[in-house]
Amino acid sequence: MLSSLTVRAAVLSVLIFAVFIGAWHLSTRATAPTSAMSPEYAKLMGLTATAGKSAMPGPLDVGAKLWEHLKRPFYDNGPNDKGLGIQLGYSIGRVMLGYLLAVIVALPFGFLIGMSPLLSRAFDPFIQIMKPISPLAWMPLALYTIKDSSISAIFVIFICAIWPMLINTAFGVASVRREWINVARTLEVKPLRRALTVVLPAAAPTILTGMRISIGIAWLVIVAAEMLVGGTGIGYFVWNEWNNLSITNVIIAILLIGVIGMVFDQILARATRLVTFPE
Amino acid sequence: MSSFDNPFDPDRPLNRKGCSCGRHDSQSEHERVAAAPEQNYKEVVASTVMRALFPQDAGRRAFLKAIGASTALAAVSQFFPLETATEVFAQGGGAPEKKDLKVGFIPITCATPIIMAAPMGFYAKQGLNVEVIKTAGWAVIRDKTLNKEYDAAHMLSPMPLAITMGVGSNPQPYTMPAVENINGQAITLSVKHKDRRDPKQWKGMKFAIPFDFSMHNYLLRYYLAEHGIDPDTDVQIRSVPPPEMVANLRADNIDGFLGPDPMNQRAVYDGVGFIHILTKDIWQGHPCCAFAASEEFVSTMPNTYAALLKAIIDATAFAHKPENRKQIAEAIAPANYLNQPQIVLEQILTGTFADGLGNVVTQPDRVDFDPFPWQSFAVWILTQMKRWGQIKGEVDYAAIARQVFLATDTAKLMREVGMTPPDTTSKSFSVMGKTFDPTKPDGYLASFKIRKAT
């Protein structure tokens, strides 16, 4: 029964995909020339004007271009033209760095807040205010004060990735069952050991869920940040191709951003499963 | 090797990227670049001197007519050592303090000299290793130059004025030693307005410009106001990044824009717009973009600055020549620079273009490159800033113009050879048939019927 469900779902997925691609292809097909033009004039015009081609690329255009990118992902033609592999590498590097910094700050701090109801209440208003601020709102401030665009991008990742981790860690730590802590107390386990051997394993699934939300946010933020500061990265690639009005390349970038985001998410989902235990 | 090179020449490399020094696309280009500069410096220095001696065109013409050009040259050389001045300028003060430089640019044809100087080896010839970096917008280019990530940058010519005065950012002394391009913009309208060519019919339309402090903004407002349309109340003018202008035109979200190329031609190429009027028909020879650096960079690294400026002057002189334009289009089309179809850039730079209405138009001066930053340009810009309420109160037009436009290099050069720099380096010009006298900016301003009352 289960296997047949999997198979049926797979078939349905393929079908949805095929319908989508088919509809896309049909809706972007070239129509007949829009109006008669002198050959001299037509030579100066693009395909949209001469062949009545849709401004939206079809799936075949995107596929061909994607193949072109995948064939040589690591070329480097100078500061403004690098292969997609290099651009993604820059973005992933920035996200990792900003995210790691956020982990380093958020986990201990979240632990502290979770353990102490006093601190939790004291910090709550600040966290609530900081949490909903859009990454792009931080960007000008960061650029202006840090005075370095790549550090600013990392800072923006850091400041946006920190809150879900902090809140989830605090929540996970605060909601560890009182009985377990009481048992540990009765057995005279020292506070540090109690935190590491009782609280941490119990709160781990919640903490990792927070980390999973954060990496998603960090990956969302990097594209916006790189579009703003330019230079390198997948966000810059999107901006650069948008400048050229190349919708084909923008679609390819969107596709790749989605795939990488999914990979990040899956890695942390696996990790969550590893630390979850049945009660 | 180009098809037109001698195929039996043993010294000619077969692949492109080949000349004896390895920095140019071909040997002929190498030779052209190598031969040009001294002549260029001489011309720049000589014209600066002539401008200093004869601030008004009429006086210069009378003088030249009276005694003839060659006698005039000899006479001027008598009391002003042109040769020495050229040498001082050509040699600079010595080795550059810093060789690895970063120069920011926005991917539009206005930046042509700044960009092409990299692939065509103009920077390298001055001993500089310059990275030209594409930047996401004017505000970012401003911030990155202010925080020294960039040593110098491509800016809109009103920007150094605005930055120096602290309009829209913290005041910081800025200099604009060279104008990048003159002309080269256009008003592009959506194809659906083919039959509404008279601006009097444009009430209620939505227009886009790239930046508030831009020639685009002032020229569009000027053009509309001359036709009796109040740009603040009768139409909507919004600040939109250039690529989004074409997309918004396609989406029917705006009716037209006064924007930089390649976007005007791109709108035509994509079949969504037509070129209503080139800005050269509003003001022939108007400045647009500029090469700018902070005063701090200029004063702490004079040799680097001189070398950089020389590379820009060389490149601008090269770009000025119509016969080089096709080659330039090819050099700046790749993704590393403008990232545009070469045919689009070629149409803009050569001035033979499709207008979007079915005609092939030839206007060789559609865009031109001339580095001289006339201070009267700055004064005009300031009058328009005041006209539309961007700056308020008393404005010392001449002083700001002197400080920002050409405040440093020419003046310094002239002092080095023992001359007193002139107070004004101005020329009169006319915008839509109305003559501008840079000595009477307030009168000019008062003569406009449509303006924000201040």
* Residues B427-440 pLDDT 10s: 677 788 888 887 88
pTM of the model: 0.77
Facing residue for B336 by CB, picked from A48, A78, A246: A78
Of A267-276, B18-27, B181-190, where does mean pLDDT reach its minimum?
Answer: B18-27
Which residue among B243, B335, B343 places its CB closest to the CB of A245?
Answer: B243
Give whole-number Cα distances, B453 to A3, A252, B445, B446, in Å. 77, 51, 11, 10
Answer whether residue B82 shows pLDDT above 60. no
Q: What is the DSSP letter of B204?
A: T
Q: In this structure, are residues B409 and B403 in contact, taking their beta carbons and an 8 Å threshold?
A: no
**What is the mean pLDDT of the segment spanning A152-181?**
88
Rounded to whole angstroms, the Cα distance separating B328 from B369 reads 13
Residue A7 pLDDT exceeds 60: yes
A172 touches A261 (CB < 8 A): no
Q: Is B17 exposed, middle or buried (0-12, 13-18, 19+ CB in 10 A)?
A: exposed
3-state secondary structure of A123: helix
Name the residue of chain A whose CA is nearest to B338's CA: A244
Residue of B nearest to A225 (CA): B136
With beta carbons under 8 A apart, name residues in chain A contacting B341. 46
Helices then strands, each counted (H, E), chain A: 13, 0
Sequence-distant (6+) residues with CB within 8 A of B197 are B276
CB contact under 8 A, B343 and A34: no
Asked if the Cβ–Cβ distance from B335 to A242 is below 8 Å, we say no
Least confidently predicted of A169-178, B30-39, B154-163, B317-326: B30-39
Shortest distance, CA A231 to any CA of chain B (angstroms): 7
- B65 beta partners: none
Cβ(A245)–Cβ(B270) below 8 Å: yes
Contact B289, B312 (CB under 8 A): no
Spatial distance between the Cα atoms of B242 and B214, rounded to a whole number of angstroms: 13
Query: CA A193, CA A98: separation in Å to the nearest integer?
Result: 29
The residue of chain B with its CA nearest to that of A239 is B136
Which residues of B make CB contacts under 8 Å with A? Answer: 107, 131-137, 140, 143-144, 147-149, 242-243, 246-247, 250, 266, 268-272, 334-337, 339-341, 343-344, 347, 353-354, 358-360
In A30-69, the residues whose Cβ lies within 8 Å of chain B are 34-35, 37-38, 40-41, 43-46, 48-50, 55
Q: What value does the mean pLDDT take over residues B363-372?
A: 82
Give the tens place of pLDDT for each residue, B13-40: 443 344 444 445 555 555 554 445 555 5
Burial class from Cβ neighbours inside 10 Å (0-12, 13-18, 19+) for residue B413 reads: buried
- Mutate one of A31, A44, A139 to test the B interface: name it (highest B CB count within 10 A): A44
Cα gap A50→B356, rounded to integer Å:
11
Residue among B144, B244, B275 with most chain A CBs within 10 A, to mutate:
B144
What average pLDDT does the segment A165-194 reach? 85
Where residue A104 falls among pLDDT bands split at 50, 70, 90? very high
The stretches of B260-390 forming alpha helices (DSSP H) are: 263-269, 295-300, 302-320, 325-332, 342-350, 375-387
Which residue of A38, A43, A229 is in closest CB contact with B136? Answer: A229
Q: Which two tokens stand for residue B74?
A: 């000899």
pLDDT band at A34 (very low <50, low <70, confident <90, very high): low
How far A112 CA lies from chain B's nearest CA (Å)? 38
Q: How far is A93 from chain B (nearest CA, A)?
A: 21
